[in-house]
Structure 1
Amino acid sequence: MMTVRDKTAIRFTCEQEMVREEREPGTPPCREPHYPCRVGIYGWRKRCLYFLVLLLMIILVVNLALTIWILKVMHFTIDGMGHLRITDSGLRLEGDSEFLHPLYAKEIRSRLDSALLVQSARNVTVNARDEEGRVAGQLVVGSQAVEARGKRFEVNSNNDRLLFSADESEVVVGADRLRVLGAEGAIFEHSVQTPQIRAEPFKHLRLESPTRSLLMDAPRGIAIEADAGDVSVSCRLGLLLEAREGAITLDAENVRMPSLPRGARDKPGPTQGLMEVCVCPSGRLYLAEAGQGCLAFSSACE
């Protein structure tokens, strides 16, 4: 067995031979004896490598277990995930579903045997956007009110008949009958244009303006009819019936004016309680005893 001293001597001899070879070319070089070398990782490096491999295996097993647990909890199948099913016509959700972010869909519909319920803790907002991304129509269902924003609002029947429409210029009611169930009726702050105003059967029709005047105007006449009752017109100050072209006709079996004033009696005579209607120059009517004559300067005309 060769010692360290022998190895040092051989190395020293080789160095001398190398120097001599440089000085004298052609001399064979000195070679050290061949010793086998161990190849590999030993010591603390080997332990660190084994620890790293073990740690990677633990992480791999934990990830695999978590993946299997998530698949089991979320009910992942070939058709979908949980209550979500992927069909040929789109996505199908069964049961209650919660959306925490905006939902973009072309069509949302329920099953044939159930209703579609959209519920929110606050407001439910449905937006329709144009090609530039701006909101063109909006429907907000809140706890205080239901608001609809858009250029035009329409309500149609099943046979595509217009029932109600509203825009900035007008509001159209397309139904055959507009029914107001309020105790005070319908209140209009401005003019109303309609071809007919009719009360329900066995109900009274009343047109009233408590603090202002009531004006009815028509280019071709106004017809007030009561087939099974009376027509009553009352006012506080004055009632004006004016016909610019034509006449005012009172067509009835009896025309009564119970509150006409009576003129002064100029001379006594048997009148038998008969009275006649007289007209003052101002147009005022008064009663005078028959046979006395209508006086233009009667006291009733003052």
Structure 2
Amino acid sequence: MEQSSTLDIDTLKITQDKYTLGPQALHLQRVHPVGLYGWRKRCLYFLLLLLLVTMIVNLALTIWIIKVMNLSVGGMGNLQLTREGIRLEGFSEFLQPIYVKEIQSRRDSTLVLRSEKNVTVNARNSHGQLTGQLTVGPEAVEAQCQRLEVRSRDGGRLLFTADQDEVSIRTETFTVTGLEGVVFRHSVETPLIRATGSEELKLESPTRTLTMEAPRGVEVSAAGGSLTVSGRKDLQLQSTEGEVLLDAGTVRLGSLPLGVYAASPSRSSRTRAVYEVCVCPGGKLYLSPAQSSSTCQAMSSICLWS
């Protein structure tokens, strides 16, 4: 009787375990496996490998660019970023236009601008219109502006100005060292023309007329030497309202034509040592032998051919 009871209990446990494990077994049969297999797995690994190679190449190129360009926190190579602006050391080459407010060199060096053709500096207004231009070329230096000014070293004194109407030189002395002097094609206005102590002053017009005019008078003086006024043709001294004054210790009129006064044939052959100056009606001067009375003849041959 005891043996049969024990068997029944074991049978019940087995039966209970069977029914208990049954649903779990059914659940395990319904779960599908998760993962990449086959060509999908190979493509994923290839993409990861390609991404890794790209990152390594980019990192290597970045390091190479930093090394070649000499990039740092303060700037790039010769280009340094400061609080005052940009500082360049050594030679710099610009392939495109550069727009800056000020270009300044170091205190112990000069500023040099070099170009194979020319160097052009432009100034524009707020509307973009060109107001000034300076061009330094192989043949000439050109400045295009409304007014050109040259000042002294301290910037206070104006030395040279040029505009559309006039050119003004405001220095104390204007010196020309050329062998041919200065050539003026039109009129010149100046208060004083003076030569140095060791040089001669010469005003010459080889093919035209030399005219000197002044509202209050023209003064020509030579303090340390002689004064010579010569001309190929006529030399005129004219005063419309005043007089022509020859004031000197000795006044000489050289190379005047000599007229002959003949009262009689016998007296015409005599040599006279004293002469008088005669004036023709046309203003020509000539010498005539002096007598007790005037020997000037209005119908003299000299006056007729004047």
Letter paired with 2:128: G
Partner of 1:257: 253
The residue matched to 1:95 in structure 2 has which SS? coil
Query: Offset of 1:275 from its aligned partner?
Result: 0.8
Within-5 A mapping of 1:14-93? 34-93=29-88
Selected match of 1:298 from 286, 296, 300: 300
Partner of 2:18: none
Structure 1: runs of 5+ lacking an equivalent? 1-30
Q: How many residues align?
A: 272
Structure 2: runs of 5+ lacking an equivalent? 1-25
CA offsets 1:240-283 (integer angstroms, 9 cap, x no match):
11000110001111111121112222222887511111112222
Letter paired with 1:156: R
Partner of 2:9: none
Which has more helix, going by share of residues?
2
Partner of 1:182: 178
The residue matched to 2:46 in structure 1 has which SS? helix
Distance 2:27 2:258 in 1: 163
Query: Offset of 1:296 from its aligned partner?
Result: 2.2
The residue matched to 1:125 in structure 2 has which SS? strand
Distance 1:222 1:213 in 2: 17
The residue matched to 2:278 in structure 1 has which SS? strand
Query: Offset of 1:42 from its aligned partner?
Result: 1.3
Distance 1:222 1:138 in 2: 42
Letter paired with 2:184: F
Partner of 2:17: none
1:204 aligns to 2:200 (yes or no): yes
1:38–1:245 distance in 2 versus 1, CA, 3 Å = same
1:144 aligns to 2:127 (yes or no): no
1:66–1:33 distance in 2 versus 1, CA, 3 Å = closer
CA contact (8 A) 1:264 1:299 kept: no
Distance 2:213 2:38 in 1: 113
Q: TM-score, normalised by structure 2?
A: 0.85
1:55–1:33 distance in 2 versus 1, CA, 3 Å = closer
The residue matched to 2:146 in structure 1 has which SS? coil
CA contact (8 A) 2:280 2:298 kept: yes
Partner of 1:289: 289
Query: Offset of 1:299 from its aligned partner?
Result: 2.6
Partner of 2:221: 225
Distance 1:167 1:74 in 2: 48
Letter paired with 1:282: G
Query: Offset of 1:130 from its aligned partner?
Result: 0.8
CA contact (8 A) 1:264 1:300 kept: no
CA contact (8 A) 1:271 1:290 kept: no
The residue matched to 1:57 in structure 2 has which SS? helix
1:134 aligns to 2:136 (yes or no): no
The residue matched to 2:30 in structure 1 has which SS? coil
Partner of 2:168: 172
